[in-house]
Structure 1
Amino acid sequence: MSIVRRSAAALAASAVLGMAITSAAAAAPSPTPSAAAPSGLYGTGDPAYDGVWRQSLALLAQDTAGLKPAAKAVDWLTGQQCDSGAFPSYRADATKPCDAKLPLDSNATAVAVQALAALGGQDAAVKKSVGWLKSVQNADGGWGYNPGGASDANSTSIVIGALAAAGEKPDEVKSKGGKTPYDALLTFAKPCGGKDGGAFVYQPKQPGIVADSTAAAVLGAHGKGLVVTAGAKDAKGTVCEKSTTVEGAAHNGAVYLATALAKTGHLDTPPMAGAADPTPKPDFGNTADAVVALTAQGLGDQARKPLEWLEKNSAAWAKESGPAAYAQLILAAHAAGADPKSFGGTDLVAGLNATGPAPEKPAADPSESEKKDSSDSGSGVGVWWIVGAFFVASVGAGFLFSGRRKNQQQP
């Protein structure tokens, strides 16, 4: 949620859109940018808009790759949580209580829940965050980027992933009006035929970047988070069908993505208004998120071409964009059964690790331990997280709001 999974550029656009929609209800001040990235945080770029997002993705990707993240990296993330259980996009001084004016972020909270649930040992923090998420559920069953904002596909989807990661049943999490998150998701699904037929829009009146919201919503509709394995083969193939169920909407959303990827193997980012170069640019993040969504839907054959395109073309993008980008690619490789340590000749895991604190060393080989007559009880390989469960990423996953009103994370 995403992924839920979302490209920095797409997530930035979605974040701006979400803030614009929310502004009528409450003018939320922007976080104060920090002068330097804190020790323990992945990436060196200003974390004001994506600190929690990129940290959570980094830890989740390391865990998925079988690594145990550094304790100080986990501590940095847990230290961002407010007493209410919510996470902001970032707060510079975690030694003080969260300021009442600090904007709280459903996407940052949801992705932090997914990461902390995967790592284990953070039950209290996870429970507190889930309680907060439930408390800000909208009447339609969904969530907006900030509390009080209109529900959107990206936010709703990544919260679904968080609920499932925490052991909740998303279809039983109901608003005061009796609506579930899946009721909300269906309102974002477009019917077959016409422009963007089968896709999920960001909001009914604000389409946003449709590939981003669609990739997120396909995972949400399956009750999954940012880490997935291949779903059962979709017997319907790539035909969009009339449907009134969330399962049918997920199929149609995946068909939209498969069709968009069929020609070139990648999605595109439209040029910014007034840009000197009107040519669309490849959208690496949302392409990675689409691979995850297609795999979860059981359209692995349709995910193969974009995966191969990413293997050939994404190395420079990941190096430039930083930890969230590396994480998105690792999650795509994991979903599709590829090796993230040899991804088109690039070791994505090593690249991610280099952007922040080194993971803890794995436990020593038993024979070596016997020779030394000692063991390293403070280390160990993290378990693989298979979720039954974030636009901001965003992340474009992509998912919502990894870019947070910025164009790209900096390495």
Structure 2
Amino acid sequence: MNVRRSAAALAVAVAALGTAAAPAAFAADASPSPAGPLPSGLYGKKDPQFDGVFRQSYALLALKTSGVTPAAKAVDWLTGQQCASGGFAAYRADANEPCGSKTQVDSNSTAAAVQALAALGGKQDTVKKALGWLKSVQNQDGGWGYNPGLPSDANSTGIVVGAFAAAGEKPAAVQSQEGKAPEDALTKLAMDCGKGGGAFGLADAKSGKLAPNADATAAGVLGGLGQGLVLDEKARKEAGKADGAPECAKPDDAAQAARNGTGYLLKSLARTGHLTSAMPGADDQPDVGNTADAVVALAAAGQQEQAEKSAKWLSENSAAWAKDSGPAAYAQLILAARAAGMDARDFGGANLVDQLTAQGPKPEATDAGDEAEKKDGKDDGSGVSVWWIVGVGLVAGVGIGILFSGRKKKNQL
């Protein structure tokens, strides 16, 4: 729902501003080093300016679901990033300074933080305040844009739906002043079965028109199903195992839009098991991050067979990407492995949990009852996830302080 949180969500923001970023903005490593010392509780070693809260939230969420109790200072750093309004910005170097009118609070960072803190428990006041902020910036169509006031997009709406679901609230009950719920926005962001192939669309930066987008579709499917980044096992069992690909039909409601989006992802993954990037000015290449997002979405939709196939591809092809991208990438892979029923501690021979743990402060505790925890894992570095770097380039290109859900990638849009 990648989320993110996503370069995809940012592209919608760019389109809303009527500005297109130049291909040169998509640097592979736009800001590799931080300007100064990083907080000891923060995961990753690279500049957190554009992804601090997001990568921290993903890391904490993935570790918690893997039986690891993160260090208190890692959790405290995240809660300390919250503004008095309840919203979270991508990163605040000095959390003692109050948020002002120039603080770019955003829906993706806030929703990611909610999902992490809800899973960790004991932070009800912080979660409640963040949900209140999200409700206050809901668009009249029922959805959310990356920043308050921007048009709704599937990436942002999807990850916010996941936040309410993770906190135990019913997303359908979260309605705008005009009585519109998130599902209303997602239905309008779903494309038809002809030209759009049933995908959820991402607004083109030049024309503003929706175009099929895999990452937006993965986020839209999760949102349409009312699921967060960590799948609700009870809901998934009730949904059952899907019997073949769903038939595409007019997306009159969010449930049908999610079915259509599921079919789009199945077709996109059928031949190779992975998604392919469509980065302007670059050769097509496997899109690891979006594939991980798609695995979670397909598992939520009951498409376990394809989810497992794509997760296996990830286990064989994601090591270099994760090493280059850092904490949020390892977290994405852990969530995908979990969704597909695979062992994150033996993912293609890699112990993703150990690798993620090594990117931050020593955890408070680890589930010693898990035999897989005894397997060796190697620290293979840390850094800003690459799909956030895309957002960094876009921000530089348009001169606005907004970013990718993230659910947000070097190899994707």
Q: TM-score, normalised by structure 1?
A: 0.82
Q: Is the 8 A contact 2:9 2:156 kept in 1?
A: no
Which of the residues 309, 317, 324 maps onto 1:313? Answer: 317
Selected match of 1:402 from 394, 402, 408: 408
Query: What is the CA-CA distance between 1:13 and the residue it aligns to?
Result: 4.8
Structure 1, unmatched stretches of 5+, are 25-32, 366-391
Partner Cα separation in structure 2 for residue 107 and residue 364 of structure 1: 33
**Judging changes above 3 Å, is the alpha-carbon distance between structure 1 residues 285 and 394 closer, same or farther for their aligned structure 2 residues?**
farther
Show the counterpart of 1:84.
85
* Alpha-carbon distance between aligned partners in 2 of 1:171 and 1:38, rounded to the nearest angstrom: 38
Candidates 217, 221, 232, aligned match of 1:218: 221
The equivalent residue for 2:106 is: 105
1:154–1:399 contact (8 Å) kept in structure 2: yes
Residues 203 and 271 (structure 1), Cα distance of their counterparts in 2 relative to 1, 3 Å cut: closer
> Could you say which residue in structure 2 is the equivalent of 1:357?
361
User: Which residue number corresponds to residue 9 of structure 2?
Assistant: 14
Contact 1:3 1:394 in 2 (8 A): no
Q: Among 230, 234, 243, which residue is 1:227 paired with?
A: 230
Cα 1:209–1:237, aligned 2, differ >3 Å: closer, same or farther?
closer
Q: Does 1:242 align with 2:250?
A: yes
Q: Deviations over 1:66-117 (max 9, x none)?
A: 1101101001100100000000011110011112211111100011001001
Q: Against the structure 1 CA distance between its residues 115 and 36, is the aligned structure 2 distance closer, same or farther, given a 3 Å change threshold?
A: same
Find the aligned partners of 2:121 and 2:190 in 1 and give their Cα distance.
34
Q: Which residue is equivalent to 2:24?
A: none
- Whichever residue aligns with residue 185 of structure 1, its letter is L
Q: What is the alpha-carbon root mean square deviation over aligned residues?
A: 2.5
Distance across 1 between alignment mates of 2:77 and 2:267: 41
Tell me the equivalent position of 1:153.
154
Deviation at 1:363, TM superposition (A): 7.6
Distance 1:22-1:37 versus aligned 2 partners, 3 A rule: farther
Aligned residues: 361
Identity of aligned residues (%): 57
Residue 338, structure 1, aligned to residue 346, structure 2? no
Q: Distance in 2 between matches of 1:210 and 1:304?
A: 22
Structure with greater contact order relative to length (CA < 8 Å, sep ≥ 6)? 1
TM-score normalised by length of structure 2: 0.82
SS where residue 293 of structure 1 aligns? helix
How many Å separate the matches in 2 of 1:154 and 1:271? Answer: 17
CA contact 1:160–1:170 (8 Å) conserved in 2: yes
Structure 2: where are the runs of 5+ without partners?
20-33, 370-386, 392-403
Distance in structure 1 (CA, Å) of the matches to 2:390 and 2:297: 13
Q: Which residue of 1 aligns with 2:42?
A: 41
Describe the SS at the equivalent of 2:210: coil
Q: Does 1:261 align with 2:260?
A: no
Would you say 1:251 and 2:252 are equivalent positions? no
Q: Is contact 1:161–1:225 with CA below 8 Å preserved after alignment?
A: yes
Q: CA deviation at 1:280?
A: 0.5
Identify the residue that residue 292 of structure 1 maps to in structure 2. Answer: 296
Q: 1:245 to 1:393 in 2, by over 3 A?
A: farther
Tell me whether 1:177 sits opposite 2:181 in the alignment: no
Q: CA deviation at 1:305?
A: 1.9
